[in-house]
Chains A and B, each alone.
Chain A
């Protein structure tokens, strides 16, 4: 049996490995949720890489309809061709444009299908895919035939929780919530990205990072991807531990602060909370 154990660039916790492997073994779609920047989308690519499979990605937008993942009938092209008496026009299959799901169904070997950010679409979107995900088949009206998956693809679906997903849809999926990594996991992740980072710098950077996350009331907490960007900048800028130790958020801000915090109200909030904690300190 094929098993997913993470890759050299992607640290998967035991929990995540079990979820992925259970979904593969039972041929169920796996729904992934979690804070932004915890590697939800990346997971599908890494699963494909680790198991050496082709990946089809379907990025969902607010205007995306379920049908577009199956196929689209290009009526305008056929209409145009008919005006010029093109011989192609007699065969309707020339005007059926295959969607990502159809492509994944057609693949001879098992593939990975990523349905990214499913919550962005209309509320009814997941309901329109129930049968397709369950039976891995659908009916094409124009060609009057049923398209059935040659091999059931490994389906990975991500959601950012902007809309609640319908129960009927949830029942068909397995679910995993990627929690924000613990300190040790975070150190593993950083080591994967920066194999020769000095331990002292990493300790100090993590201290700043987790300190920021602990401040109550921040609108957009920095996440893994922001931490990695930040450390990359620190290394490029040749920043030292001393630079990081000076930070007090009042007179000295962390270098490249903008890559960690992305909401201007958060800057004020942090300064305010630091100031008030100093004042409390004085009072006692």
Chain B
């Protein structure tokens, strides 16, 4: 009956299954709702869609199928509304305005818009290339580009808007922001439960078994409680290109501190060389030789590097390439020491995974880490923790 509609959903990548389709038919034959399109919309939504992130997509497809409302390319690509919020409505100088004039005609802008939509995934403000608010880019709201194209502003002259056309779930489509709470939950995956120390818990199965052997007289057996004994070293890249990610790093740091009992952390700038430091205010006086770190901590430790891996290639490949001092050995050599020593090691990169291919230093580090570089998203964190946990280790 609605097979074409079902197939359309499936084709457009919504996770719907045959079982759910049959449920829908059953609901219709039981006449759960009256036969009007609005009720059918509610009913099919509740039966077919199981996650709020798909609701907006569903609304679009429903509109397309039942009303023949065509999806334009820009609709499909989904431009998040909050890019366009005028948070950073700064005033431009004459110089900037002149620069914008030079950017070409309307057709060229449309082409560029499509290209950018393909490339861009995260919210952007300021700057002069991406779509966002208050920048000099020709796209977005509230900018000062004389040829700017408004996205997500007032719509066309549609009369009597249907429920699904209101697109009320638009905001839920990409609403997976990282906060301390879900970082903590991701870190929870990194747990290695072992029984060590004081015997303070009743071991019920053994007690029962021993008591039965003892002809019914109680023979109590105790055992140490299970505790998470995973040990972690965290290395944070600070300064320079990491500044935009400070808040994110703080969150990771506070989540890690509360979730992991055995945690040590160190700072470095761009790449690790002979020394690292523990107190960012004392970075010039109170340095710890990296060799000490490599020798002090044994292979049980899990290593997490947090950094955007963005720098000049010389900082990794050349002697004396560091921006801060003259290094006798290349950055790569130092990173390799870590990778060789610790079997469980990952690199968390807060920058957008989309740009990685274009950044040579990201590629170099990714190779050194044998592909164990993950973006700092919920999914990336979960994968990183899984990798970090590695095979079952016996303590």
Contact = CB atoms under 8 A, between A and B. Distances in A.
Q: Do A and B come from one complex?
A: yes
A258 B179 CA distance: 23
B89 interface: yes
A18 B46 contact: yes
Contacts of B204: 75-76
A22 interface: yes
A171 interface: yes
Interface in B1-43: 15, 17, 19-20, 23, 26-27, 30, 32-33, 38-39, 42-43
Nearest to B211: A79
A177 B52 contact: yes
Nearest to B181: A162
Contact of B47 (A83, A174, A283): A174
Contacts of B91: 283
B49 interface: yes
A173 interface: yes
A171 B20 contact: yes
Chain A binding surface, main DSSP class:
helix
Nearest to B40: A18
Nearest to A172: B19
Interface residues of A, number: 32
B374 to A, nearest CB: 17
B172 interface: yes
Contact of B27 (A25, A82, A162): A25
A280 B20 contact: no
Given A26-B23, A28-B23, A175 B30 contact: no
Contacts of A79: 207-208, 211, 218
Nearest to B86: A280
Contacts of A216: 82, 85, 87
Contact of B185 (A21, A162, A177): A162
Chain B binding surface, main DSSP class:
helix
B170 to A, nearest CB: 12
Interface in A150-178: 162-163, 167, 170-171, 173-177
B172 A177 contact: yes
A175 B43 CA distance: 10
A158 to B, nearest CB: 14
Given A22-B27, A76-B204, A31 B50 contact: yes
Contacts of B208: 75, 79
Nearest to B205: A75
Interface string B41-82: 011011101111001000000000000000000000000001
B182 interface: yes
A78 B367 CA distance: 60
A171 B19 CA distance: 8
Nearest to B382: A164
Nearest to B16: A171
Nearest to B38: A14
A82 B45 CA distance: 56
A26 B26 contact: yes
B42 A15 contact: yes
A241 to B, nearest CB: 30
B32 A175 contact: no
B187 to A, nearest CB: 13
Interface of A: 14-15, 18-19, 21-23, 25-26, 28, 30-31, 33, 75-76, 79, 82-83, 162-163, 167, 170-171, 173-177, 179, 216, 280, 283
Interface of B: 15, 17, 19-20, 23, 26-27, 30, 32-33, 38-39, 42-43, 45-47, 49-52, 55, 82, 85, 87, 89, 91, 168-169, 172, 181-182, 185, 204, 207-208, 211, 216-218
Rank and list the top 3 A-B pairs by shortest CB-CB distance, nearest first: A170-B50, A19-B46, A18-B42
